[in-house]
Amino acid sequence: MMPNPSTPLLRVRDLSVEFKMSNSKGWPWQKPDVVHAVNGVSFDIHAGKCLGVVGESGCGKSTLIRAVAGLVPMAAGQIEFDGKTVNTAKKSDVLNLRRSVQMIFQDPVASLNPRMTVFQIVEEPSRAFFPKRSAQEHRERVMSLLDRVGIPRRNANRYPHEFSGGQCQRVGIARALAAEPRVLLCDEPVSALDVSIQAQIVNLLRELQREMDLTLIFVAHDLGIVRHISDDVLVMYLGGMMEYGPAESVVKSPSHPYSQALLSAVPVADPRVEVVPQILDGDLPSPLDLPIGCLFETRCPKAQNICRIERPASRKIGDAQVFCSQL
Amino acid sequence: MTLLQAENLSIEFQTPDGVVKAVNDVSFSIGAGETVALVGESGSGKSQIALSVLGLLAGNARTSGTVTYQGKNLLEMQQNELNSIRAKEIAMIFQDPMTSLNPYMTIERQLNESLEQHEGLKGAAARKRVLEAMDAVRIPDAKNRLKAYPHEFSGGMRQRIVIAMALMCSPKLILADEPTTALDVTVQAQIMALLKEIQRESDMSVLLITHDLGVVAGACEKTLVLYAGRVMEQAGTLDLFETPSHPYTRGLLRAVPNIQDAVGDLRSIAGQPPNQMVPPPGCPFAPRCENRTEQCDRELPPLVGDIRHQRACWRPVEELV
């Protein structure tokens, strides 16, 4: 079946994720506290595109992609992959979905099993998802993946601790590709790496994306890198959407007061450019007790009364969706 | 006026697998009120330089060279002499605010530790100073938070506490080891603005250790670029960013993604940093350098050039056609 170019490969609607806190000091009849980690996030990604998700730590960006990967349960909302609704999918489809959506993690060393060789690490998903292949086929597949990500074949029998961070991240990418995914979820894949190595990994991801027609969700707090790799950008704050649109317009001319503050704070590697950060007062509110109105209301320089009462709906500004009632 | 002068500082570690040469022949000076940046990737020895200044290196470390502060070599000082300098004259801000505070001690106790040690202040007088320091780093509602424990604060607030701790005895020099690396950009902007302001008010010097060239560009007058424990290039920050002379510096600057116009591939530096147990005989950057010649593989380039802009390279950028 030919994919319809106008339907997105991945469609997420009103996705929410909640975590119930253990009720250790309360009474048994009290309701446990609930952390609202992701609140009503919607986006579409077309095949072969990259969505960048940015926001400060604790804004729910990692939880969001974990929910897409099926690693944490959704509290509400709907995910459609390739036209099928994941919530109601049959078991066989779910397995296929799991295979099609693979993840690359932030800490390259910790995300590899220290007691497995690189060969075993990359072979595991291949064996799990393609049990009918012969050992020889698995072997060839692993070796060609290692070639592709730039790990010399002679190092295939080494253990993760013998590699540097950048090389471990290459192994992590090879492992994700071994499942032959269509979507790669990248959870801060380069933030633990040095600048010169970061660029190597980002370039590798871009090449792979082009070659294999992969769809990426790239979570990062480094806006420069997100701008570099993404077609669309989603700005999150306190689990909710602030602004969502083409990277060009969101990064270059952000409309939401939060996006503006976030971008103004990015340091520029040029001493002639004077960066004047808009400094936000205070800290993030607790995700246990969200503001009733706009999530950003407590720190927003433009907040009015209406912002404190009503959660703003999406508005179209240029090509971007902006969640602010003061624009 | 020079406040701190390091000359031919070398640090090596004895390990079961051999000797690791972490820092080799590094010289630099910090003037009063000046901010100097040490830039380098992980393993370049930048943190070890800061630790050696305060005598905090691990037990298996051997140092040579001198680090002179007020006419005395800090590397040869006894513990009790160092204790009279630590936190009072030279203070340190550590990278990770999550682990550099003691989880069992209230904020107040951690903050007044150095006051008690150096100035013998206790009780109400000490509390007054603690509150002043907390106000200086803008911790809201300081009075009610004296008895709080580190886990009750967010990452940004904890880093402010670490900074307040360093400022407690108004030191002349602060060694800031990646003070904002663990923080979000918005909090980073707050913290850097705060440091700048405090520095302007008290004419304090700062040695800023970072891998973030953006932070360097915004904050430092002078920059040293380290690679594999050696100084590759040192210059005024403006000069260094505008006319980088060492290919490594140029590579680093090119590898930073630009938020304004970012299209196409990033320009990376191929390869990995060398193993410092068996350093290459020539330039440590040679295996990754696009312009290397036979001489680069064979001979270690000396740090040359006029004192305002020095580089260690046989084929500097400006001599290439």
- Chain B nearest CA to A135, separation (Å): 32
Give which of A107, A223, A110, A102 is closest to A174, Cα–Cα: A102
- Confidence label for A293 from pLDDT (cuts 50, 70 and 90): very high
Q: Taking the domains of chain A in order of start, what are their residue ranges?
A: 10-20+33-322
Inform me whether the C-beta atom of residue B216 falls under 8 Å from chain A C-beta atoms. Answer: yes
- The pTM of this model reads 0.85
B78 touches chain A (CB under 8 A): no
CB-defined contacts A:B, below 8 A = 130
List C-alpha distances in Å: A305 to A201, A293, A300.
46, 9, 12
Q: From residue A274, how far is each of A268, A277, B244 by CA, in Å?
A: 8, 9, 20
Contacts of A17 (CB under 8 A, 6+ apart): A37, A38, A60, A63, A64, A67, A72, A73, A74, A75, A239
Q: Compute the distance between CA of residue B32 and CA of residue A31 in angstroms, rounded to an integer.
A: 58
CA distances (Å), A161 to each of A164, A200, A269, B105, in order? 8, 20, 33, 35
- Residues A249 and A307: beta-carbon distance below 8 Å: no
Q: State the Cα–Cα distance between residues A123 and A142, nearest whole angstrom.
A: 6
Contacts of A271 in chain B (CB under 8 A): 217-218, 237-238, 241
Q: Which amino acid is at A18?
A: E
Q: Is B36 in CB contact (< 8 Å) with chain A?
A: no
Nearest CA in chain A to B223: A271
| Chain B environment of A223 (Cβ under 8 Å) | 185, 259
Question: Is there a contact between B184 and A196 if contact means CB atoms under 8 Å apart?
Answer: no
Closest CA to A155 of A118, A108, A124: A118
Q: Any chain B CB within 8 A of the CB of A275? A: yes
CA separation for the pair A251, A228 (Å, rounded): 10
Average pLDDT over residues A199-218: 94
C-alpha–C-alpha distance, residues A89 and A92, integer Å: 8
**Which is nearest to B60 in space by CA: B98, B11, B108, B100?**
B11
CA B231, B233, B236, B242 torsion-angle sign: negative
A271 closest CB neighbour out of B241, B252, B265: B241
Tell me if chain A has a CB within 8 Å of the CB of B48. Answer: no
Fold classification of B2-89+171-319 is Rossmann fold (3.40.50)
Residue A167 has a pLDDT of 92
DSSP one-letter code for A268: -
Lowest mean pLDDT among A85-89, A212-216, B251-255: A85-89
* B36 neighbors B206 (Cβ within 8 angstroms): yes
Q: Contact A38/A15 with Cβ under 8 angstroms?
A: yes
Please indicate whether, in this complex, the C-beta atoms of B259 and A197 are within 8 angstroms of each other.
no
- Contact, A51 vs A233, CB < 8 A? yes
pLDDT at A287: 83
| CB nearest to B259's CB, from A165, A194, A223 | A223
Residues of chain B with Cβ-Cβ distance to A279 below 8 Å are 186, 189-190, 193
CB within 8 Å of A187: residues ≥ 6 apart: A62, A65, A66, A103, A104, A105, A106, A219
Closest CA in chain B for residue A277:
B189
**Per-residue model confidence as pLDDT tens for chain B (321 residues):** 899 999 999 999 999 988 999 999 999 999 999 999 999 888 899 999 999 999 999 999 999 999 999 999 999 999 999 999 999 999 999 888 778 899 999 999 999 999 999 999 988 999 999 999 898 888 888 888 999 999 888 888 898 899 999 989 989 999 999 888 877 888 888 888 888 888 888 889 999 999 888 899 988 999 999 999 999 999 999 999 999 999 999 999 988 887 776 666 778 888 888 888 888 889 999 999 988 999 999 999 999 998 899 999 999 998 876
**Quick one: tokens of A177?**
């590709």
Which of A188, A194, A237, A262 is the mutation pick for testing B, counting most B CBs within 10 A? A194
Helices (DSSP H) in chain B: which residue ranges? 46-53, 79-85, 107-119, 123-136, 142-145, 155-167, 185-202, 213-219, 237-242, 247-255, 294-298
Mean pLDDT, residues A31-41: 89
User: Tokens at residue B47, please?
Assistant: 């943190």
Taking Cα atoms as reference points, which of A144, A217, A140, A204 lies closest to residue A173?
A204
CA nearest to A63, candidates A38, A35, A99, A98: A38
Q: Averaged over A239-266, what is the pLDDT?
A: 92
| DSSP designation for A45 | E
ipTM over 0.90 threshold: no
CB B99 within 8 A of CB B155: no
B45 lies within 8 A of chain A by CB: no
d(CA A57, CA A312): 23
Q: If you write DSSP's letter for every residue of B227-272 in order, what string do you get?
A: ETTEEEEEEEHHHHHHS--SHHHHHHHHHSPPSSS--S---PPPS-
| Closest chain B C-alpha to A131 CA, distance in angstroms | 36
- Residues of A within 8 A of B96 (CB-CB) are none
Token digits of residue B308: 């305002």
Best A195, A198, A242, A273 residue to mutate vs chain B (most B CBs within 10 Å): A195
Query: Inter-chain contact B185–A265, Cβ cutoff 8 Å?
Result: yes
Please give the pLDDT value at position B264. 65
- By the 8 A CB rule, do A283 and A59 touch? no
Using CA atoms, how far apart are residues A296 and A301, in angstroms rounded to an integer?
Answer: 10
**CA distance, residue A262 to nearest chain B CA (Å):** 6
Which backbone phi and psi does B152 adopt, to 5 degrees?
A: -85, 0
Q: Over chain A, what is the mean pLDDT? A: 90
Separation between Cα atoms, residue A279 and residue A260, nearest integer Å: 11
Answer whether residue A4 shows pLDDT above 60. Answer: no
Interface of A with B in 188-207 (CB under 8 A): 194-200, 202-203, 206
Q: Residue B218: what pLDDT?
A: 86
Mutate to test the interface with A, among B17, B153, B196, B256 (most CBs of A within 10 A): B256
Neighboring chain B residues of A190 at a CB cutoff of 8 Å = none
Cβ-based contacts of A167 with chain B (< 8 Å):
272
**Chain A closest-CA separation from residue B254 CA (Å):** 9
**Closest Cα to residue A44, out of A256, A262, A231, A311?**
A231
pLDDT computed for residue A158 by the predictor = 94
For residue A92, pLDDT beyond 70: yes
Question: Any residues with CB less than 8 A from the CB of A2 and at least 6 apart, and which?
Answer: none
**B96 in reach of chain A (CB within 8 A):** no
Nearest to A267 among B218, B270, B273 (CB): B218
CATH 3.40.50.170 is the classification of domain A10-20+33-322: no
Residue scoring higher pLDDT (A281 or A262): A262
* Residue among A293, A262, A265, A291 at smallest CA distance from A277: A265
Is the Cβ of A211 closer than 8 Å to some Cβ of chain B? Answer: no
Q: With a CB-CB cutoff of 8 Å, which residues 171-200 of chain B face chain A? A: 184-190, 192-193
Interface of A with B in 117-176 (CB under 8 A): 164-167
B156 φ, ψ to 5°?
Answer: -65, -40
Chain B residue numbers with beta carbons less than 8 Å from the beta carbon of A194 are: 41-42, 211
Strand ranges of the sheet holding B2-15, from the earlier edge strand across to the other edge: B18-31, B2-15, B61-69, B72-73
**Residue B154 has what pLDDT?**
81
In the predicted structure, residue A1 carries a pLDDT above the cut 50: no
Q: How many residues does chain A have?
A: 327
Contact residues on chain A for B192, CB-CB shorter than 8 A: 267
Q: B13 - beta bridge partners?
A: B20, B61
B140 and A282: CB-CB below 8 Å? yes
pLDDT of residue B8: 96
**Nearest CA to B237 among B222, B225, B252, B256?**
B222
Query: What does the alpha-carbon distance between residue A82 and residue A79 come to, in Å, rounded to a whole number?
Result: 10
Contact A166, B273 (CB under 8 A): no
Interval A106-132: pLDDT, tens:
888 889 999 999 999 999 999 999 999
- For residue B141, the chain A residues in CB contact (below 8 A) are none
The reply to whether residue A267 touches residue B253, judged by beta carbons under 8 angstroms, is no
pLDDT at A2: 47
Alpha carbon A215 to chain centroid, angstroms: 12
Q: How many helices (H) and strands (E) does chain B have?
A: 11, 11
Q: Nearest to residue B7, comparing CAs of B39, B58, B52, B40?
A: B52
